[in-house]
Structures are given as structure tokens and as C-alpha cells.
Amino acid sequence: MYLDIGNALGGSPGLTEETLDHLDERVGLAHERIEQGRADDEHGYAALNLPKTVDTDAIRAAVEPFGTPEAVLTVGIGGSALGAATISAALADQTDVEAHFLDNVDPEDTAELLDSLPLDDTVVNVVSRSGTTAETLSNFLVVREAMDDAGVDWTEQTFVTTGDEGNLRNLADTHDLPSLKVPEGVPGRFSAISTVGLACAALQGLDIEGVVAGAQTAMDDLSGSLYESPAYAYGAVCYGLAERGALTNAMMPYAESLEYFAEWFAQLWAESLGKEQVGQTPARALGATDQHSQLQLYRAGPRDKLVTLVRPREREDIDIPETDLEGLSYLGGSGLGDLLDAEFEATEASLAAEGRPNVRIEIDAVDAENIGELLYAMEAATVMYGELAGLSTFTQPAVEWGKKAARGLLGGGDFAEADAVADKRTFEIE
């Protein structure tokens, strides 16, 4: 992974090289804290050990009985689905096995998806650390009923990824389902390089060993200086800019295959860093599409944003045919990839010309090793930002509050959070 922070220097808001030097001293201290947390396998910090601790052989053994299905359906939500979706989408051109993700409880969307699936040749992976996640288990019950109605033995086509206890663990034991264990001490949003994120890719026959190898490369690059570690440099620069007013971080990949990556990043960044009245709000964009929508705001709106531009250095291209249409002849002889790269660099320059901070992240190509390196680097960057901001990076109290409220409303227990719903103020206009 290559990181260029030149356009984060000198703008408004912006950093100086002197500021970077001060940040570097703090990065060194934070790195020591992170390394100690990793050595002790502390909750959260254990996620940065996954390239060494994940067992890809065990993952392949768990999915081997299913052979090569026509489709894989992952039933999960948040971190139980987004990492897997990111890897699968990035590597989709390397498999004929379709991947689908049931990660919301919208009834119309769920019905449409189930109607479109070849249920007799679809493997279902149900993912929940606790085994009690209401959305995930509700969706799974719907999927199971659909399989029953279609005359499909769901027990022959289902496996679970969960903890040692809970409803899913009991289900797996009762029906002798294949299962994988979620890693200890790893929050869901940090679990992409684990059983949680790699099982779907394994079912698709993708190179999960390459993903782990790429993550290992990023792990090996961690050091006590931001000048030697792209991951830590990104986290530190984002923190420094946020302290100076860049409270939104627009993640903008220039590759359709990385669109899910921006969604995964949004959860990782928001859930980890949005606490104690601080944090940097992630926004999702896609280049070049959003140059024609969001860029106007980023270049000419409030000076409260950082734009992170991501692209592969290598990609397959399609030639643009020669044309004699007036004003378009300059396009002939180049490729769509050339045009996309030109759009990338034009966006970068456009922002810089107005003193709007932006950071360039490049990977060699969208392949297994590079997506593994990118995912791990963003996780390490998140941890570094959290250390510099003095946050409890690995907790998510606001999320837990909402879960309790929803469960109480559905009759799943007596929770004060549910009682608060009755206090909602109304002011309707018809």
C-alpha cells in the first residue's frame, strides 16, 4: 500500500511538517501501547494479531463438505457481513460462485433476494458472535422456512460462525451443522481477516491465504514512526486533521470492486471513533461517479472535510473506440482506465487547488494480497487514531443501547432503553 499525504499539508484545514514531527512522537508512544496490547491478546488489540492466528486450513475444512455451490448467502449484520462482502466484491471476477448478503431486515428486499436464489444449490452461512443477534436470527428463520417450503433440507446446506455459547451454537450442536468459531477478543468490525470475513471467500474458492498474506505484509510494516508505517501515518493524519476541523472523512475509491470497501470502512471508523463527543464522520463516495454529485460540496462547501482517494495502480482496461464526433476525438486511442485515472488526478488537483485536504491511497491491484493489506492497514489506522484521541476504540455503547431498546420493544425482556421510546416527542405536519 502506498500513502501520499502531500495534499494534507498546508491546506485549510491542514497540517505542517512540524505538526507531523510532533505527531510522530505521539505515534511512537501509541505504538508501544498497541504492541503491549497485542502481546497480551487484549480485547480489540488481538485483532491486529489475526494474520498470525487465523487458521485458513480450518476454514477450508469447514466449508469443504459443501463443494462448489452456485451461490453463497451470508446472513449477518454489521461486522458479521461487511468484511466478507468487501473481500467477495473485490475478488468477484475470480469466481463463478455468486455471493449474497442478507444484512438488513427489510421484508421486501429479503423476499426479493430469496425469490432470486437457487435455494437447492445455495450454502447459507449464519454469522453472529453472540448467537442472539435479533436481525440475524430473524433473517435466518425466514431463510430456513423458505428452504423448507422449497423442499430443501436446510441442515445439509447451512453452517454457522459463532461463539461458544448462544442460540446459534445450540442450533449447530442440535443439528450437527459444520461451524466455525469467531476469534476471541476481536470486535466484529475488526474481524475481516478471520473466520468471520473469510468463510464466504473460501466457499467461493477464492485465495484466502493471499488475503492473509497481504494482511501480514501490513502488520510487518507497523512501527514506532508514522514515517515508516503507512497505516499509522493514515490514522495519525486523519486524527491531526480532525483536531483542526476536518470532521468528515469521505472515503472515495476509484474502482467499482472497492465500493463495498467504503461501506466497511464507514462502520469501522464510525463505530470505533465516534465517542465522547469526538470522532470523524465517514462518508461514502465512488469515483468517478460522485465527482458529478458530491465533489461540489467537498471543494466548495464548509472546510470541515478530508477526502481519501483510493485506487489500484494496475487494472484491466477497455479501449475507447476512435470517433469523428466533434469535441470527442481526443478520447480515441485511450482507455476507460486511462479516463478513470485522469478523473482521479483531476479530483485530487481540484481539491488541492482550493486548499482542501485529501490523501491518496494506492494499491498495486485489486487482488487477494492487496485487499488483505488494505483491510489490515485501515484497521491499524483506526486503532492508532483511537490511541491518539484517548478513546475506547473497541467498545460500542451506543450500538448496544439501540439493541436493548429494539429487543425490549419486541418483548424480548425488560429494558429501560425500550421505555425511552415512549418519550419520543412528536410534532407532525400533514
Task: Please list the active-site residues.
Answer: 271, 292, 403
Angstrom CA distances, 86 to 123, 237, 362, 377, stand at: 19, 24, 17, 14
Backbone angles phi, psi at 74, to 5 degrees: -95, 125
Residue 394 cell numbers, joined: 473497541
Taking the alpha carbons at both ends of the chain, their separation in whole angstroms is 53
Calculate ∠ Cα 391-187-217, nearest 5°. 90
185 CA to centre of own chain:
18
**Residue whose C-alpha cell is 508512544:** 29
User: What DSSP assignment string belongs to 272-310?
Assistant: HH-BTTB--EEEE--TTGGGGTTHHHHHHS-S-EEEEEE
C-alpha cell at 203: 466457499
Dump the DSSP string for 107-164.
HHHHHHHHHHS-GGGEEEEEEESSS--HHHHHHHHHHHHHHHHTT--GGGSEEEEE-S
Starting at the edge strand found earlier in the chain, the sheet holding 158-162 runs 98-102, 71-75, 122-128, 158-162, 179-181
Residues 146, 127: Cα–Cα separation, whole Å: 18
Torsion angle of the four alpha carbons 410, 415, 416, 419, in this order, in degrees rounded to the nearest 10? 20
Q: How far is CA 62 from CA 14, 95, 188, in A?
A: 49, 19, 20
Tell me how far apart the alpha carbons of residues 113 and 359 are, in angstroms, rounded to a whole number.
37
Distance, in Å, from the CA atom of 173 to the CA atom of 328, rounded to the nearest integer, reads: 64
Phi and psi angles of residue 363, each rounded to the nearest 5 degrees, phi first: -120, 160
DSSP 99: E
CA angle 185, 49, 360 (to 5 degrees): 110
